Amino acid sequence: MKKIAIVTAGGMGTRMGAKLPKQFLLLSGKPVLWHTLNAFINAFEDIDFVLVVPDDFVNTATVLASELNISQKTVIVVGGPTRFDSVKNGLATIKESAIVFVHDGVRCLVSPDLIKRCYVQAIEKGSAIPAVASTDSVRIAMEDDHRVIDRAKVSIIQTPQTFKSELILPAFNQSYQERFTDEATVVESTGNRVYLIEGDYQNIKITRPIDLIIAEQIIADRVS
């Protein structure tokens, strides 16, 4: 089945304190986004890409796609003010039935194995939302207090959030609502349930400077 990865790299990221958005910072000599795209290329030779980038980085993304030899199957679109808008812009380029992966560009350590498993489950169940169990205790803020929740019941959600195009395309025709914190919540609001899949503890998001150092180490460890 046709496979399309919408990779969102629209954020300008302020927590890194760097001049470049974090998806373009160098990690083991290549931009973060290079690693992300490479994982999808390694999962599927026949996958197409939609890169959602900030306005000023269209050229950078074009060069990156060319470097990775995926120019012919890559569409570059400009991100919107929210994740919802950015993904919506990406989805607007999809004209045929496909399995659609929506992936955070800064989750550059995603494994080809996870991507493949998401694909298989999305074909079977319509969706695959990677999740890992919390390794720490978790509390939820209440009105002016907080209560502990059973850790075994807590899932930390990752990407690629993966869907049949028939599920995700109509869902994004809705107007934006504040509760749309990821693609799964958008699809759920159409009355469809979504299905979790075992994620990967190494599938971290690069958000702080230390994450780059950690990612570099994980990459070195994988190579050795």
145 contributes a contact to its own copies by CB under 8 A: yes
Q: Which of 151, 170, 177, 190 forms a contact with its own copies (CB under 8 A)?
A: 151
Are the C-beta atoms of residues 112 and 222 closer than 8 Å to each other? no
Q: Give a three-class secondary structure readout of 50-83.
A: EEEECHHHHHHHHHHHHHCCCHHHEEEEECCCCH
Rounded Cα gap, residues 70 and 37, in angstroms? 9
Rounded Cα gap, residues 111 and 224, in angstroms? 16
Residue 93 or 209 with smaller CB distance to its own copies:
209
- Least distance to its own copies, CB of residue 114, Å: 15
Question: What tokens appear for 127 in the block?
Answer: 């969706």
Candidates 44-52, 58-66, 70-78, 131-139 — which segment interacts with its own copies by CB under 8 A?
131-139
- The whole-angstrom distance between residue 212's C-alpha and the CA centroid of its chain comes to 17
190 contributes a contact to its own copies by CB under 8 A: no
- Least distance to its own copies, CB of residue 187, Å: 11
List residues binding its own copies (CB under 8 A).
131, 134-141, 145-146, 148-158, 179, 181-182, 184-185, 188, 193, 196, 201-202, 205, 207-208, 210, 213-214, 216-218, 221
